[in-house]
Homo-oligomer: A and B are copies of this chain.
């Protein structure tokens, strides 16, 4: 299987970016990634003054998928996530939901092994390896890797983990896919501004679904399917997600809009991804078993 080295990286998703590699639909690739600090910080005692803040959230790629054209959908299956044996965290003034109350910029190193992270203080955290930045070129202007959107990007979504399947709207020839910013663990919200940030390798499979217009990214796992919505506020993100799913249910099933909204109220789970990026991100998830009688397709 082909590996894309982490030196093939970029800091913004753009239609105009030259591909690092070109592959046909159906290809499985392994992408090596830096951590979100581009591995500039490897010890708690580093000289933080020397960090280059322009080198944050690198994504590996872009990958050009031959069949992908605007108006198609790119299906990305996360087969495997492998991580380095340590992760880094940070907090500081102006960062995270506690930005006003924090002071110096502090980095903390977390040893990782056997699916546990040693936080210190005797605390051994369960890991939930996940991909923070993942997406395709957006329709319009380039978007910094730090910002999430309907093209994907820095969604920091805990459920983008091994076994998850993502669907992205294709806006540029080849889709121009990239991923990076893996976390060994992250709580929903990512309130401090980082998860346990780690370099690693992700093995993913690409499939182009032709002529399937999609306006927002979808996320599917063994039991659930839902939509990922980024916006200026959580309330706006929730409204977008609800409106998307209610519209889809009313269009694709026998439910009228009233019943679709009641169904979402009873059975749809609004979950926070992150509240610390330039836009915030929510997901709204449904149980596949509840949808099965409706025989609808999300695509």
Contacts and interface: CB of A to CB of B under 8 A. Distances in A.
Given A91-B262, A294-B121, A267 B233 contact: no
Contacts of A45: none
A84 interface: no
A271 B272 contact: yes
A290 B125 CA distance: 7
Contacts of A19: none
> For the complex formed by this chain, how many copies does it contain in all?
2
A268 B189 contact: yes
Nearest to A239: B97
Secondary structure of the A side of the interface?
mixed
B263 A123 contact: yes
A235 B238 contact: no
A95 B41 CA distance: 49
Contacts of A3: none
A49 interface: no
Contacts of A187: 264-270
A108 B233 contact: no
Interface string A238-255: 110011001000000111
Interface of A: 89-91, 96-98, 101-102, 104, 106, 108, 110, 117, 119-123, 125-126, 185-196, 233-235, 238-239, 242-243, 246, 253-255, 257-259, 261-272, 275, 280, 282, 284, 287, 290, 293-294
